[in-house]
Amino acid sequence: QSVLTQPPSASGTPGQRVTISCSGSSTNIGSNSVKWYQYLPGTAPKLLIYSNHQRPSGVADRFSGSTSGTSASLAISGLQSEDEAEYYCAAWDDSLDGELFGGGTKLTVL
């Protein structure tokens, strides 16, 4: 059972801006960096955001991350059909001494 809580689903129409939330605690998001991954089942996950808001080279600037206290958010602007995927937040947890993934959010582009 994930200690990082994400909504199971989200949706938007092409061109829209959608936001996916990730709620944690002081031992994970509150004290360690948040990562976001894009995942299409059957393929390897892709790193979208590290250090709460940094994008690796090659990731479109339509993707942005932010944190506030013990919560994090991933925003996708200018939504495209190719963005339809599962999105996972992740953070190290100091009390578990391990990496946590959120439960994942399935994004549907209507």
Q: Of 17-25, 60-68, 73-81, 97-105, which part binds another protein (CB under 8 A)?
A: 97-105
In this structure, what token pair is assigned to residue 78? 């200018």
Q: Does 101 bind another protein (CB under 8 A)?
A: yes
- Show the site string, 34-63: x = touches another protein by CB under 8 A, - = not: -x-x-x-xxxxx-x--xx--x-x-------
Distance CA 22, CA 24 (A): 7
Q: Does 108 bind another protein (CB under 8 A)?
A: no
In this structure, what token pair is assigned to residue 60? 């479109």
Residue 45: partners with Cβ closer than 8 Å, 6 or more residues away: 37, 38, 39, 88
In this structure, what token pair is assigned to residue 76? 């996708």
Q: Between residues 50 and 77, which has the closer beta carbon with respect to another protein?
A: 50
Q: How far is the CB of 85 from another protein (least distance, A)?
A: 13
Q: How far is the CB of 3 from another protein (least distance, A)?
A: 11
* CB crowding 11-23: b at 16 or more within 10 Å, else e: ebeeeeebebebb
State the residues that interact with another protein by CB under 8 A.
2, 32-33, 35, 37, 39, 41-45, 47, 50-51, 54, 56, 88, 90, 92, 96-104
